Structure 1
Amino acid sequence: MLKKLLLVVLFIGTTVSAQDYFFKKYHPFNSDIPSPEEFLGYPIGQHHTRHDLIVAYLTKLAETSDRASIYEYGRTHEGRKLVMLTVTSPSNLGNLEQIQSQHLKFVDPSQTASNYDEVPIFVNLGYNVHGNEPSSSEAAMLTAYTLVASNSAEVTKYINNGVILIDPTINPDGRDRHTQWANMYQGNPLVADPQDAEHNEYWPRGRTNHYWFDLNRDWLLGINPESRGKLTWYHQWYPNVVTDFHEMGTQSSYFFEPMKDNASLNPIMPKENYIDLNNLFGDYYAAALDSIGSFYFTKEVFDGTYPGYGSSYPDLQGGLAILFEQASSRGHKQTTAFGEITFPFTIRNQYTSSMATVQASVENKAKLRKYQQDFFKSALGNADKNRLKGYSFKDNHDPNRVKAFIDKLLLHKIDVYQSGDEFVVPTRQPQYRMVQTMFETYEKYRDSVYYDASAWSVANFYNMKYKPVSTLNLGTKITSTEDLVKPKAVVKTNYAYIIDYDDYNAVAALNYLQSKGLVVSSSFKPFTAKTTDGNKRFNYGALVIPVSLQKKNADDVFKIVSKAQEKYQVPTYAANTGYNAQGIDLGSRYVEPVTKPKAAMIIGDGVRSYDAGEVWHLLDTRVHMPITKIPIRNFGRANLDKYNTLVMVSGNYNFSKTQLEKIKDWTSKGNTLITLGTAAKWAIDKKLVKEKLTEGKEKDSTKAVNRKPYVDAPENLGKDYVGGAIFKVDLDITHPLAFGYRDNTIPVYKNNTVWLAPSKNEYATVAKYAKDPHVDGFITKKNTEEFLKPSASLIVSKLGGGRVILFADNPNFRGSWYGTNRLFLNALFLGDKIEIPE
């Protein structure tokens, strides 16, 4: 049957039958409403549709129909519109504010609304979070047209009883990157050969957004404007049902929920969600797909353990989130083991599931509403059962990092209070489950294999020193972070300015000062300075701007320093003397000028685009420092002498002998090579450095091998991989790479099996995993004892006159690890100051 359906698609022309392939069951249609084919000039599936045309079509629907309105909820990094099309009956649309108000009573535990079946159900159809999984955005146009233009009794029932909120493209930047590729290489006739260029995108491919982030992991972390805009919108609407449409390998079929069992021992979402409701909706999907002869599978591979997916975050907001995965044509037509899969075929499955979602939601609206109400009421009930009443946290040395963490809490509508110099998050609040997500850590799990991470306690991402509390003193509720950090304005001096390097934004301020032509020094020992505000104790790394030694006059220096403070809100002080109250003086040889980084990063095939994007994003959006991205295909002719720092993130690097020598020679001249993850392993394997990898216990080859069932192999082998866990490291806070840290124990994120043996040089191991390293997440006992505990997380190794900095772990993971960003930034700005004793 599948072959037959696929072959049928090949003969569809540009007639009305092309449209009927998708929605003939929903006739009659309003002829005043243009179909996608009439608007675009080609039938859906003949080409990949650009995002601007998708937005234009939905805008046209809103202009020509009294069933639809369109709303822009944000812009992408590249300036593309993020839109939501609202479709419902004309009477509902004209009364939408009141309906929204009625709907929100069900998410407020203090309300007692019981008119579950009277308020239209809210359904958010979300499409195309991965840009090169394009079938769903095409289905979004078909779904929108059907709901806006169909006059069938079925659709009339849907729009009378539901408010359907259509997000056609969650990742427009990635989609357009892939759309350009697919259309550029589209043949006529179509080429089904999997080796054709159309089916094989070039790096970084269209999956990710502008900075190569996977937006389907960003719902919890909220780093990118696409996610932040969506989250802001989400907490204004709290839809009852949310879809998350994806594509998977071409040789597969179609997946819908129920998922693989959650790997958590005690998932914080109610069982009713992932058992009752998923099975209820699953029956609708099975019936709909059976009716068109499509094959599918459920309960395999995918799990919703990580709470930051589009198919899991809404589950923590009283909604039902549903994942779909369609075998991808990766272009317009491709050969598979079942024949040929075409783009229109993939679109039809997504469209069919979209309409089935609306049907299931409308026909079960009372059940879904009651569930959402019970969800938020049970949040308070669960909190009441817990002896723990909240969490307190503070960091008086780094207010901007604290501010960033509070901003994340507020983004998720978590209540935060300020009590003296501490901040308090009570557990008894509607977002109790999100509080659990942010703070709770785990070490026991029902399963050991995860689709994504096994650890996500966001407080640890920020290196936040927090503690559970059993009694509360709430203080003042925080509703905005806008005025949370307001350091006292620096006064003018003719001698020197000092910036507290403990603050997260201090590196950005340093870069700003350097970009304006000022010479800035870093203190390699602590001191107490006599400032105009009195004696002030400064930690390792404090930035010193000597006024008389600048090429600019004192007035201009003051303006630049004042602007840096205003822009980055960093604590800045004026000193009229270099004779300090304690410790070294400002003219000490331990106060060294910081060399302005001239940084480059290798990108391209073989390089992990996620990791490279995280570096690019960090420097662009927080430090505002340029970094040259050198494609690996151009590396042979690249002039490295233009740079003093080279970044290599995780990847598979296959350099020629000549290129390897090029890197060695350049580093030996006194430059800094920064390697992350598998790039650090590569540096050791290629003998750039004399460091070694940790070797576990060798297997006894003479010992008899126990047979195991073949079917269990993927699960058993998967246990040995560290998929994403948080561990403590012991940090040498006197080392330049650790400047800005006060505590010698910090959490790091590990999602690889790169195990660095501590350096034989006693001054070269900057961070080593602690004796009791586990903070959060799954790791086997074997990996813990044989590899983790004996290993180092961060090493600096000498190479000629330069150095190689080896990060076993990724300090910039998903743009969210504020707690370890400083290690990487110090490598960029202070790497050349590291002297490694022989």
Structure 2
Amino acid sequence: MKRFLLTICALTLIHTFGLSQEDLDLSYYLPEGTTYDPSIPKPAEVIGHEVGQWHVTHDKLVQYMLALAEASDRIQIEDRGKTFEDRPILLLKITAPENHQRLDAIRMEHLGLTEAGASSLNPEEMPVVIYQGFSIHGNEPSGANAGLAYAYYLAAAQGPAIETKLKDMVILMDPSFNPDGLQRFAYWANSNRSMHLNPDENDREYHEIWPGGRTNHYWFDMNRDWLPVQLPESRARIKTFHDWYPNILTDHHEMGTNSTFFFQPGEPSRVHPLTPGRNQELTAEIGTYHVKALDGIGSLYYSEEDYDDYYYGKGSTFPDVNGSIGILFEQASSRGHIQESENGILAFPFTIRNQFVTAVSTMDAAWNMRAKLLDYQREFFTEMRNSKGKTAGGIIFGDSKDGARAWHLAEILQRHRIRFHELGSDTEIDGKKFQKGYSYVVPLDQKNPKLIKAMFEKRTTFTDSIFYDISAWTFPLAFNLDYAETARLPETGPAITELNPRQGTVDQASDYAYLFEWHEYYTPKLLNAILEKGLRAKVAKEQFQLGGTSYDYGTVMVPVQGQSLSSEEMHTLLSGLAHESGVSIHGVKTGKTIGIDLGSREFDPINLPKVGLLVGDGIRSYDAGEIWHLFDTRYEMKITKIDTDYLDRADLSKYTDIIIPGFRGGGISESMANKLKKWVSEGGTLIAYRNTAQWLDKHEMLKLEFRKDTLKAENISFEQRGDFQGAQVTGGAIFEARTDRSHPINYGYKNENIFLFRNTNIYLEPDSESYNNPIQYTTAPLQSGYISEENAELISGSVPLKIGRTGRGRVVLFTDNTNFRAFWYGTNKLLMNAIFFGHIM
């Protein structure tokens, strides 16, 4: 009764009077009956406000964690690197003081459970390891704010109960999975907070401006990068994961304001087949501790609904293919300090408390289930070692024209501690040619073949037709690489322990011209750097041979004469650029070739692009951020982010290209549309994505014929309507298309097929003139993932690309994202081709 009255009192004060340190006390969160070490600072003593009174900014969160580590002998702190905005990526290692004296020995013994010889270890005598992470989405802040109270509890709580548990466990605590996003949202919530808290859902406090605080600096969803590992925050946490192999990993999120609290297990029919059944049993048993904890404070909750355990790129699912247990928590969000909801007034401190009690219940579950969890981990890896017949052979992948894409896939393998080798000699498997120096071999007979299968497999049959996230992510298809599974490994070199960056060269100095093919991934970076130096360059629209070398469509020529640099200066410059980009450049002494000569009209000049990217209201921030990231971090090309808020006032004449990422709706007025249409007609290239298709068609900027779904809901009950509609969603699958390699949009691709990611249901009829369909889906294009039967018929033979002229300019439309989540390396060049070669399409 005392606890209940304290809760009612606290929420009444919050609702009626706003917050002060006197109104809200740390005891609201902490378990009753526990004493605390007075030498350990409370959060308010360091950050200047009580937990939940304000949204903690990342700098204050760091300040408090450093203060705890200084004051407590239970905590070691590690700075694992920096975010894009230069914020520290911290990890707290929390255990009993005596364990810190042998922490690395504990870690090595724990890793022994995953290795041969694990049978000699006794789980009854080993500490359990849990990894608890908070607020990977920055505008889901109750987790990171709960981390303040939870870290204090772990550092300061006294008594046999907590001290015994800490002797038997190591807690890896990540106080903020997404520092940049957390900082952005805290600023928004605090700067719009009234002194007298207003729960009206229409208040500005609860409606962030674009792009919101969910994402990191480049507007990526950080909770989709656990498997691709493309971002600095992800690289830090994946290193921690593989350094420790925690038994439980928790991921604290938020959901809609009118919800309650969710914990896993999720939908039983939506678990990836590679996840062992025992994993879900243990997940359910851990859930019983959350039930007890939430019942104890009167909080509503649910489980086994809504959320799935399918995509291994999520924090709560990635552990499941690595012998660990991933747990997702979803708390109804106040999205500020206090908000109306259908469950009554939802106060920020209440959301924090639910996250706090489930962090503690996770700790309780880990301690009580310690032997089970450790034994499960040992069994997971032992089973794979004992089934070597099933894991014989391996996978080979590469591209004989592009070493960089294969290198970057190998880089992901290395981050996941997957063993791989460079191909020992050229070989051919299943009609695919693999070249030494451009290919890698991954044996399946190693520590975790399940993780390898999760990355490389193609899957097209499913027990459920609804997915919380994508249904396919087959890495060699995402990288558009040749690959094959083989029962017998080809000749290989030793395992690669250090993956050195690829470097290019200029084979010889020339007084005539330099040539490089467009195949390598970083050729756009090289070409842009050349053009930025004021040098002239041209692109070959036909194939030719020179000096015994064959040159493909899209080969770039840089003539020596008539340039702003001398031949010696050009050689020095190109040598440096080749080295940085990993692209090989050939110096030639003559313009006479077999095919088009170097002075032919079939070489078209290339202009330095100046690119604008529409951002702001109405634009999908994920899509825009992926493009920004591609230009800024990979190709080192300047891109101007033009907000829809001031598009009407912007001078567009300076831009050669403008990109419109996918729409979320609204954002671009009629006057803006007319302005863009005029700009195109005067010679600009407009590059648009996804559901911008309907907008282009409406404004007569591109003539499109859509294939429509005629499916009707027959014999579907009201209860079944959600599943019926959900089954028609193409949430993320991979499809094969044929290409016309002579078309500029396909320059740099050596194969006549390409693998495309798709998560829309936009299906376009092909043009009657075949040469206007440079990319067209095959008749049965599905390679991996889920698509309904109805949509499979619509996509067959349709086109994912349309190019049209408007006046002197062009419009290029992609029905789907070519830059998905930074790891879809295989189609990045389609955008670059539209940028550099749009004028000749």
What TM bracket, shorter-length normalisation?
Answer: over 0.9
Determine whether 1:361 maps to 2:366.
Answer: yes
Determine whether 1:273 maps to 2:285.
Answer: no
Shift of 1:653: 4.1
1:563–1:450 CA distance, 2 compared to 1 (3 A): same
Shift of 1:407: 0.8
CA RMSD across the alignment: 1.8
Opposite residue 335 of structure 2, the aligned amino acid is R
Opposite residue 756 of structure 2, the aligned amino acid is V
Q: Give the counterpart of 1:212 among 208, 215, 219.
A: 219
Q: Give the counterpart of 2:343 among 296, 316, 338.
A: 338
Contact 1:726 / 1:777 at 8 angstroms: preserved in 2? yes
Opposite residue 803 of structure 1, the aligned amino acid is R
Partner Cα separation in structure 1 for residue 722 and residue 126 of structure 2: 46
Partner Cα separation in structure 2 for residue 604 and residue 821 of structure 1: 23
Q: Report SS of the residue matched to 2:340.
A: strand
Q: Matches of residues 416-435 of structure 1 in structure 2 within 5 Å?
A: 416-419=420-423, 420=425, 421=436, 422-435=439-452
Q: Matches of residues 449-488 of structure 1 in structure 2 within 5 Å?
A: 449-473=466-490, 475-480=492-497, 482-483=499-500, 485-488=502-505
Per-residue CA shift, 1:23-72, capped at 9, x if unaligned?
A: 14262111011011221221100001111111111111111111111001
Shift of 1:16: 9.4
Structure 2 equivalent of residue 493 of structure 1: 510
Structure 2 equivalent of residue 632 of structure 1: 644
Shift of 1:681: 2.9
Determine whether 1:718 maps to 2:744.
Answer: no
Q: Matches of residues 546-585 of structure 1 in structure 2 within 5 Å?
A: 546-580=559-593, 582-585=594-597
Shift of 1:759: 2.4
Shift of 1:381: 3.6
Partner Cα separation in structure 2 for residue 106 and residue 288 of structure 1: 30
Per-residue CA shift, 1:279-306, capped at 9, x if unaligned?
A: 1101100001101111100001000100
Greater shift, 569-578 or 411-420, is seen at: 411-420
1:7–1:128 CA distance, 2 compared to 1 (3 A): same
Partner Cα separation in structure 1 for residue 778 and residue 822 of structure 2: 24
Structure 1 equivalent of residue 17 of structure 2: none
Q: Report SS of the residue matched to 1:243.
A: strand
Partner Cα separation in structure 2 for residue 392 and residue 608 of structure 1: 36
Greater shift, 192-201 or 409-418, is seen at: 409-418
Partner Cα separation in structure 1 for residue 411 and residue 33 of structure 2: 46
Structure 2 equivalent of residue 805 of structure 1: 812
Partner Cα separation in structure 2 for residue 707 and residue 292 of structure 1: 44
Determine whether 1:9 maps to 2:11.
Answer: yes
Per-residue CA shift, 1:648-679, capped at 9, x if unaligned?
A: 11102453333222111110112101011111
Contact 1:764 / 1:797 at 8 angstroms: preserved in 2? no
1:497–1:169 CA distance, 2 compared to 1 (3 A): same
Q: Matches of residues 171-182 of structure 1 in structure 2 within 5 Å?
A: 171-182=178-189
Contact 2:503 / 2:581 at 8 angstroms: preserved in 1? no
Structure 2 equivalent of residue 782 of structure 1: 790
Partner Cα separation in structure 2 for residue 157 and residue 124 of structure 1: 19
Shift of 1:644: 1.1
Contact 1:691 / 1:797 at 8 angstroms: preserved in 2? no
Partner Cα separation in structure 1 for residue 651 and residue 8 of structure 2: 51
Partner Cα separation in structure 1 for residue 806 and residue 353 of structure 2: 58
Partner Cα separation in structure 2 for residue 472 and residue 254 of structure 1: 49
Per-residue CA shift, 1:695-741, capped at 9, x if unaligned?
A: 34586xxxxx7442211111111111111010001111110010001
Partner Cα separation in structure 1 for residue 631 and residue 26 of structure 2: 47
1:536–1:53 CA distance, 2 compared to 1 (3 A): same
Q: Give the counterpart of 1:25 among 32, 35, 45.
A: 32
Determine whether 1:830 maps to 2:832.
Answer: no
Opposite residue 246 of structure 2, the aligned amino acid is P
Q: Report SS of the residue matched to 1:206.
A: coil
1:659–1:697 CA distance, 2 compared to 1 (3 A): same
Determine whether 1:301 maps to 2:314.
Answer: no
Partner Cα separation in structure 1 for residue 529 and residue 563 of structure 2: 15
Q: Matches of residues 180-329 of structure 1 in structure 2 within 5 Å?
A: 180-263=187-270, 267-274=273-280, 276-329=281-334
Q: Give the counterpart of 1:754 among 758, 762, 771.
A: 762
Q: Give the counterpart of 1:613 among 606, 612, 625.
A: 625
Per-residue CA shift, 1:311-359, capped at 9, x if unaligned?
A: 0111111111100000001000001122211111000000000011011
1:49–1:654 CA distance, 2 compared to 1 (3 A): closer
Partner Cα separation in structure 1 for residue 513 and residue 313 of structure 2: 46
Contact 1:109 / 1:373 at 8 angstroms: preserved in 2? no
Contact 1:681 / 1:693 at 8 angstroms: preserved in 2? no
Partner Cα separation in structure 1 for residue 823 and residue 8 of structure 2: 43
Partner Cα separation in structure 2 for residue 284 and residue 244 of structure 1: 16
Contact 2:198 / 2:338 at 8 angstroms: preserved in 1? yes
Q: Matches of residues 703-714 of structure 1 in structure 2 within 5 Å?
A: 706-714=714-722
Q: Give the counterpart of 1:650 among 662, 680, 683.
A: 662
Partner Cα separation in structure 2 for residue 247 and residue 459 of structure 1: 33
1:760–1:682 CA distance, 2 compared to 1 (3 A): farther
Structure 2 equivalent of residue 393 of structure 1: 397
Contact 1:6 / 1:339 at 8 angstroms: preserved in 2? no
Q: Could you list the runs of 5+ residues in structure 1 that have no partner in the other structure?
A: 700-704
Opposite residue 606 of structure 1, the aligned amino acid is G
Opposite residue 582 of structure 2, the aligned amino acid is Q
Shift of 1:487: 4.0
Q: Report SS of the residue matched to 1:123.
A: strand
Partner Cα separation in structure 2 for residue 17 and residue 180 of structure 1: 21
Partner Cα separation in structure 2 for residue 7 and residue 666 of structure 1: 61
Structure 1 equivalent of residue 429 of structure 2: none
Contact 1:26 / 1:151 at 8 angstroms: preserved in 2? no
Greater shift, 1-10 or 713-722, is seen at: 1-10
Partner Cα separation in structure 1 for residue 141 and residue 764 of structure 2: 40
Q: Give the counterpart of 1:137 among 144, 161, 172.
A: 144
Opposite residue 321 of structure 1, the aligned amino acid is G
Q: Report SS of the residue matched to 1:726.
A: strand
Structure 2 equivalent of residue 514 of structure 1: 531
Partner Cα separation in structure 2 for residue 618 and residue 480 of structure 1: 27
Structure 1 equivalent of residue 94 of structure 2: 87
Structure 2 equivalent of residue 622 of structure 1: 634
Q: Give the counterpart of 1:380 among 365, 385, 393.
A: 385
Shift of 1:132: 0.1
Structure 1 equivalent of residue 739 of structure 2: 731
Shift of 1:790: 3.5
Contact 1:86 / 1:164 at 8 angstroms: preserved in 2? yes
Per-residue CA shift, 1:476-501, capped at 9, x if unaligned?
A: 23435643634454322111111121
1:595–1:761 CA distance, 2 compared to 1 (3 A): farther
Contact 1:257 / 1:322 at 8 angstroms: preserved in 2? yes
Partner Cα separation in structure 1 for residue 791 and residue 498 of structure 2: 41
Structure 2 equivalent of residue 702 of structure 1: none
Partner Cα separation in structure 2 for residue 37 and residue 483 of structure 1: 47
1:156–1:485 CA distance, 2 compared to 1 (3 A): same
Contact 1:77 / 1:225 at 8 angstroms: preserved in 2? yes
**Identity of matched residues, %:** 36
Q: Report SS of the residue matched to 1:560.
A: helix
